[in-house]
Amino acid sequence: MKIKITKSLAHRVTVSAAALSVAMFMIGCATIVSGGKQEVALKSKPSNADVVVTNQKGEIVFRGKTPITLTLPTSAGFAQPEDYTVQYSHSGFAPKTVHLGVGVNGWFFANFISWEFPGMIVDMATGAAYKLQSESDVSLGHE
């Protein structure tokens, strides 16, 4: 069986290959694997503590009770990791404030290995280049 390649077929294949190449070139490794949001578990001893989460601008992004798992954005803007503070309180116990740690997502470095420099920009723009501490578990002391 012989396949006849026409100009129309060759054009479609070329356009499809070019579009696929551009799409692959413009996607960052960390964006594909983890995206720009992350789940963070907030726990306390005793449980049922009041919890308030604020971002680096001082805006309250969550108010509720422990235990809870939240999905939080990892970025505050291009190439700027988000920074969160968590305040725990419970009647009869001393309040406690902790900082959620943030670091570089390991998948971001895959862009270097694959020479995906535009992917680095995509990861920084989406926030996927950053990774939040996945859990905050505090023990509140008696007042």
Q: For residue 136, give every residue at least 6 positions away whose Cβ sits within 8 Å of its Cβ, in sequence order, or none.
A: 40, 41, 42, 43, 86, 98, 100
Number of domains in the chain: 1
- In tens digits, what is the pLDDT along the chain, a chain of 143 residues? 566 656 666 667 666 655 555 544 444 444 554 556 889 999 999 999 999 999 999 999 999 999 999 999 887 877 688 899 999 999 999 999 999 988 766 655 665 655 566 666 666 667 666 778 888 999 999 87
Tokens of 58: 């001082």
74: CATH: 2.60.40
What integer pLDDT is reported at residue 75 of this predicted model? 77
> Is the residue at 88 inside a domain?
yes
**Rounded-to-integer distance, Cα 102 and Cα 89, Å:** 23
> Is the residue at 2 inside a domain?
no
**Rounded-to-integer distance, Cα 42 and Cα 51, Å:** 8
> Is the residue at 111 inside a domain?
yes
> Is the residue at 7 inside a domain?
no
Helix (H) or strand (E) holding 140: none
> Is the residue at 16 inside a domain?
no
Segments forming the whole domain that contains residue 104: 29-138
Q: For residue 24, give every residue at least 6 positions away whose Cβ sits within 8 Å of its Cβ, in sequence order, or none.
A: none
Helix (H) or strand (E) holding 52: strand 50-54
